[in-house]
Amino acid sequence: MNLPAVLAIYRFEMARFWRTALQSIVAPVIATSLYFVVFGAAIGARVQTVDGIPYGAFIVPGLIMLSLLTQSISNAAFGIYFPRFAGTIYELLSAPIAPFEVVLGYVGAAATKSIFIGLVILATAALFVPLHIEHPFWMVAFLLLTAVTFSLFGFVIGLWADGFEKLQLVPLLIVTPLTFLGGSFYSIEMLPPFWHAVSLANPVVYLVSAFRWAFFGKGDVAVGVSIAVTFGFLALCLGLVTWIFRTGYRLKS
Amino acid sequence: MPPIVSIENLSKVYASGLHALKDVNLAIDKGEIFALLGPNGAGKSTLINTVCGIVTPSSGTIRVGGHDNRSDYRAARRMIGLVPQELTTDAFEKVWDTVSFSRGLFGLGKNPDHIERVLKDLSLYEKRDNRIMQLSGGMKRRVLIAKALAHEPQVLFLDEPTAGVDVELRQDMWRLVRRLRDQGVTVILTTHYIEEAEEMADRVGVIRKGEIILVEDKVELMRKLGKKQLTLHLAEPLAALPESLAGYALHLGPGGREIVYTYDTQRERTGITRLLTDLAAAGIGFTDLDTQQSSLEEIFVDLVRGHTGAAP
Ligand SMILES: Nc1ncnc2c1ncn2[C@@H]1O[C@H](COP(=O)(O)OP(=O)(O)OP(=O)(O)O)[C@@H](O)[C@H]1O
Ligand SMILES: [Mg+2]
């Protein structure tokens, strides 16, 4: 195991994060505050509670998930895409590093960043609504699991993308809609049966549901199912990354 | 002593179908400076990148310090430093950080003394806190070299290190390469400046269309393939060369004031003594004479045009 290399990559990526700290941290804080103003104040005035939970508090897990997913994906995707684009990837390819170690460095850093942002959002939310976390251990566990899984997914996108548009494409066209439709701001129980069934095909539903369960003790689907779906997606991403490194796809000629 | 880099039956066909390397065999000795010469697109960078692990070979084996560069890639790559042809650097990193980063990638712990020495050797130390994007092109080139030296490699690949570099930096670079060689580092470089190879290299390899067409000790190469010319400055201008000298490869210079004799240094006899005797017999006197040897550049141009044998 080439630990110094993993640490070097990790530190490099974290340095990039702190260099752009203003936009990395301030942007999510402002966005979260806006969500609270718009959803919390406007909708919350009509919808008092969902499932017995005050609406303002109800949307907190979904808000954190929304940022966690988009941040994990974009951080990891950009982290590996940029060296490919700039050509500095030559150094990674010629260093005595195993693919696993490269992934560990990039995905570890991307997950750290998005967890950090998730916690910042949680703290911001706590300023607006009183929060009580039912299962703190599971809350942290889901935070970690989701951050790692989607950072890995972002890493795959960063390897696959051959232009900046593609880098934006997946987060913008797939992940954000899935998150909005994934019960971040409502319970899918509120939907008509047909749309409820459709929603169950959306993986984000399981993430949000499990996370909400960690906060309030109830979710839209069983926690076990959520965990299984998340691990399934994690395994899929791991498989893809392994295949990419084994074949050198988009990395080597 | 076994070669430090050994390349056997190496071929590379790119996905485009282009046959960039054709059954290349090459052995680099420890501690030598090896210059790889060849025209644009000959396969120099492909060869270097394949050894370094950036390009996957289609077939063949590569060993560095006895380690197979695929099955035992960690040990093989740890020995290698690479300065790529393209100027590819980060932009926002500071010089010191990017060089330290390279050392980390190669699995080594921090060693500020070594980094400091490398930066000083390359006259980069004053710039250590500058962001890379604030540096000039030549300075960026130095940063790439510093990165390649950060992990104290035993084999250094320099892919056109002096392209677009001013005279001063070029000479700095030559000094650095010699100093590295003195420390036992093996250096393999490509260049389009033949005088650079002539100046620096112990051995020269010529690659053309993916094939190594020649590997030779530099001195030996120049002796073997080099033509020599003897120029005689005549006392009296000549209108034409006399019949009696028709058997020599002679050429009458401008204004009939000099005779140029081209001969092959490899031959047992150069024919000079006989020529001088015959000149005296023909009543031709000369005031001065000098000899020139063809440069590596002329030899190289001959070679890549397709003449592989000695010149006539
Ligand atoms: N990734 C690639 N895919 C397809 N063909 C490639 C690739 N890289 C290089 N080639 C081709 O392989 C051949 C050898 O290229 P290479 O870069 O090794 O040449 P070179 O000797 O380094 O040339 P130069 O002196 O211009 O640097 C060229 O014909 C080039 O077009
Ligand atoms: Mg080249």
**Between chain A and chain B, how many beta carbons pairs sit less than 8 Å apart?**
78
Name every chain B residue with its beta carbon within 8 A of the beta carbon of A86. Answer: 88-91
3-state secondary structure of A54: strand
Query: Which tokens in the block code for residue B117?
Result: 């020495």
Closest partner residue to A253 (CB to CB) among B15, B91, B103 is B15
Q: How far is the CA of B39 from the centre of ligand 2 (A)?
A: 9
Is the Cβ–Cβ distance between B245 and B277 less than 8 Å? no
Of A3, A19, A252, the CB nearest to B92: A19
Q: Please report the pLDDT score of residue B166 as a whole number.
A: 82
pLDDT digits (tens, 9 = 90+) for A177-231: 888 888 888 888 888 888 888 888 888 898 888 999 999 988 888 888 988 988 9
User: Cβ of B104 and A252 within 8 Å?
Assistant: no
Q: Is the predicted pLDDT of residue A42 greater than 90, yes or no?
A: no
Q: Are B165 and B133 in contact (CB under 8 A)?
A: no
- Mean pLDDT over A3-10 rounds to 95
Q: Kindly report the nearest CA distance between residue B231 and chain A, in angstroms.
A: 52
What is each CA distance from B155 to A19, B21, B187, B188, B274, in whole angstroms?
A: 35, 21, 6, 8, 50
pLDDT at B225: 66
Q: How far is Cα of residue A72 from the mean position of the Cα atoms in its chain?
A: 4
Pocket of ligand 1 (CB under 6 A): A 253; B 14, 16, 18, 20, 38, 40-46, 85
CB B272 within 8 A of CB B286: no
Nearest chain B CA: its distance from A14 CA (Å): 12
Residue B45 has pLDDT above 90, yes or no: yes
Q: In chain B, what residues touch A96 (CB-CB under 8 Å)?
A: 73-78, 106-107
Nearest residue, CB atoms, A4 vs list B97, B109, B147: B109
Q: Closest partner residue to B55 among A2, A92, A252, by Cβ?
A: A252
CA B55 to ligand 2 centroid distance, Å: 13
Centroid of ligand 1 to alpha carbon of A3 (angstroms)? 34
- pLDDT at B266 > cutoff 70: no
Instruction: Give the pLDDT score at A244.
Output: 85
ipTM of the complex as predicted: 0.86
Strand B186-190 and strand B155-159: the pairing is: parallel
Report chain B's mean pLDDT, rounded to a whole number.
88
The predicted structure's pLDDT at residue B309 = 43
Taking alpha carbons only, the member of B216, B223, B226, B175 closest to residue B196 is: B175
Domain coordinates of chain B in residue numbers? 5-222, 227-293
Query: Which pLDDT value is given to residue A112?
Result: 96
- Inspect the interface and report whether the beta carbons of B82 and A7 lie closer than 8 Å: no
What pLDDT sits at residue B59?
Answer: 96
Q: What is the pLDDT of residues B208-258, one digit of tens each?
A: 999 998 898 888 777 766 677 888 888 888 888 888 888 888 888 888 888
Answer whether residue B311 shows pLDDT above 60. no
Q: Pick the residue with more confidence: B116 or B291? A: B116
- Asked which of A240-249, B40-49, B74-83 is least confident by mean pLDDT, the reply is A240-249
* Stronger pLDDT, B262 or B133, i.e. the higher one: B133
The answer to whether the CB of B198 falls within 8 A of the CB of B295 is yes
Ligand 1 geometric centre to CA of B80 (Å): 21
Distance from CA of B165 to the nearest CA of A (A): 20
* pLDDT score, position B168: 82
pLDDT at position B173 is 86
- In this predicted model, what pLDDT tens digit does every residue of B183-200 receive, in sequence order? 999 999 998 877 788 888
Would you state the pLDDT for residue B308?
A: 47
Task: Tell me the mean pLDDT in the region A84-101.
Answer: 92
**In chain B, % of residues over pLDDT 90:** 53
Q: Which residue has the higher pLDDT, A36 or B130?
A: B130
| Residue A22, Cβ density class (10 Å: 0-12 exposed, 13-18 middle, ≥19 buried) | exposed
Which residue's C-alpha comes closest to atom 29 of ligand 1? B41
pTM of the model: 0.84
DSSP letter (8 states) at residue A218? -
pLDDT at B312 over 50: no
Mean pLDDT, rounded, for B142-147: 94
Separation of CA B299 and ligand 2 centre (Å) = 21
Q: What is the secondary structure of A170-187 as a DSSP string?
A: HIIIIIHHHHHTTTSSS-
Cβ distance B162 to B193 under 8 Å?
yes
CA distances from B106 to B52, B74, B306 (A): 13, 9, 42
Task: Give the dihedral sign, CA A171/A174/A180/A182.
Answer: negative
How far is B9 from B36, CA to CA, in rounded Å?
Answer: 17
The DSSP secondary structure of A119-167, one letter per residue, reads HHHHHHHHHHS----S-HHHHHHHHHHHHHHHHHHHHHHHHH-SSHHHH
Residue B26 clears pLDDT 70, i.e. is over it: yes
Atom 18 in ligand 1: residue holding the nearest Cα: B43
Residue A4, pLDDT > 50, answer yes
Contact (CB, 8 A) for A144 and A46: no
Count of C-beta atoms within a 10 Å radius of residue B240 = 7
Is the separation of the CB atoms in B43 and B209 below 8 Å?
Answer: yes
> What is the DSSP code (8-state) at residue A87?
S
Question: Between residues A78 and A36, which one has the greater pLDDT?
Answer: A78
In words, the CATH class of domain B5-222 is alpha beta
Query: Is B76 or B308 the better-scoring residue by pLDDT?
Result: B76
Q: Closest Cα to atom 30, ligand 1: which residue?
A: B41
Q: Is the pLDDT of residue B121 over 50?
A: yes
Q: pLDDT: is B282 or B19 the higher one?
A: B19
**B interface residues, A as partner, C-beta within 8 Å:** 14-15, 49, 52-56, 73-78, 80, 82, 84, 86, 88-93, 97, 100-109, 147
What architecture (CATH level 2) is domain B227-293? 2-Layer Sandwich (3.30)
Ligand with an atom nearest the CA of residue A252: 1
Rounded to a whole number of angstroms, the distance between the first and last alpha carbons of chain B is: 37
Q: What is the dihedral of CA A85, A88, A91, A97, to 10 degrees?
A: -50
Judged by CB atoms closer than 8 Å, whether chains meet at A7 and B104 is answered as yes
DSSP assignment of chain B = ---SEEEEEEEEE-TTS-EEEEEEEEEE-TT-EEEEE--TTSSHHHHHHHHHTSS--SEEEEEETTEETTTTHHHHHHTEEEE-SS----SSSBHHHHHHHHHHHTTPPP-HHHHHHHHHHTT-GGGTTSBGGGS-HHHHHHHHHHHHHTT--SEEEEESTTTT--HHHHHHHHHHHHHHHHTT-EEEEE-S-HHHHHHH-SEEEEEETTEEEEEEEHHHHHHHH-EEEEEEEESS--SS--GGGTTS-EEE-GGG-EEEEEEETTSS---HHHHHHHHHHTT--EEEEEEEE--HHHHHHHHHTT--S---
> If you average pLDDT over every residue of chain A, what do you get?
87
Per-residue pLDDT, A219? 80
- Select the more confidently predicted residue: A32 or A99: A99
Which of the residue ranges A78-92, A200-214, B150-164, B279-293 would you say has the lowest mean pLDDT?
A: B279-293
Percentage of residues in chain A with pLDDT exceeding 90?
36
pLDDT-above-70 percentage for chain A: 98
